[in-house]
Copies of this chain bind each other. A is one copy, B any other.
């Protein structure tokens, strides 16, 4: 669904410090604003794009959340990422000018659309935009590598802890509580993403709750003992506390 009436403005967007506009001059920002003409809204389970679709635009999540999946030849699905407001969708399409994964809304969500030709030309003009693009591209690559590390080196419990700490951090970056949040994905997608069976996820949540690290109520998560959770996740640094100075 196209919502032309809902004009988007990067200059006044609360996500600009996470998204493409970060660090842009006001001149650059204006040009970017001129190119982002559309805002798309997706209902739950709707595809933003599919593997094989031509790369027509890149998208920034504005509200809601998405999952990205790839399929085996037999149609088995693998979730390869979750995307929150301010994060970019479609970078995988740079390889062959067509998407290689499916992006699906986990809940009602909306995105800002930046047509690829505009994007390409803006990147030629503005060093600041290039820099921020490279920043976000590097994050995509690095986070993929961290996921490979988790799948290869961590057991099921450690993977779940790592995931929760990472979500906590991402929620905090967006101004939400790092200690209590609602996951937007069903157990099924979470399990698939972490390479664990749904039943195991349930058992792990139960165990972490019994041991006093979490309080879990369906998709609502409250981190009770961030320190121990962080240890489980094999992190070195002190976890977020949720207490503001």
Q: How far is it, in angstroms, between the C-alpha of A134 and the C-alpha of B95 when the chains are bound?
A: 7
The answer for the CA separation of A237 and B74 in the assembled complex, in Å, is 11
Closest B residue, CB atoms, query A134: B94
Copies in the complex: 2
A237→B73 CA distance, assembly (Å): 8
Contact A91 B137, beta carbon cutoff 8 Å: yes
Chain A contacts with B in 143-164, Cβ cutoff 8 A: 144-149, 151-154
**Cα-based distance from A94 to B139 in the complex (angstroms):** 8
Chain B residues near A237 (CB-CB < 8 A)? 73
Proximity bits, A114-142, B CB within 8 Å = 1, else 0: 00000010011001001100110111111
Which residues from chain B contact A149 at a C-beta distance below 8 Å? Answer: 70, 72, 78, 80
CB pair A95–B138 under 8 Å, yes or no, is yes
Q: Tell me whether B145 and A148 are in contact (CB under 8 A).
A: no
* CB <8 Å contact, B74 and A234: yes
A100 touches B (CB below 8 Å): yes
Q: Is A199 in the interface zone, CB < 8 Å from B?
A: no
Chain B residues with Cβ below 8 Å from A234 are 72-74
- Contact sample, A vs B, 12 pairs, CB 8 Å cutoff: A73-B234, A79-B152, A80-B145, A92-B142, A94-B134, A94-B135, A95-B137, A95-B138, A120-B127, A141-B141, A148-B148, A152-B192
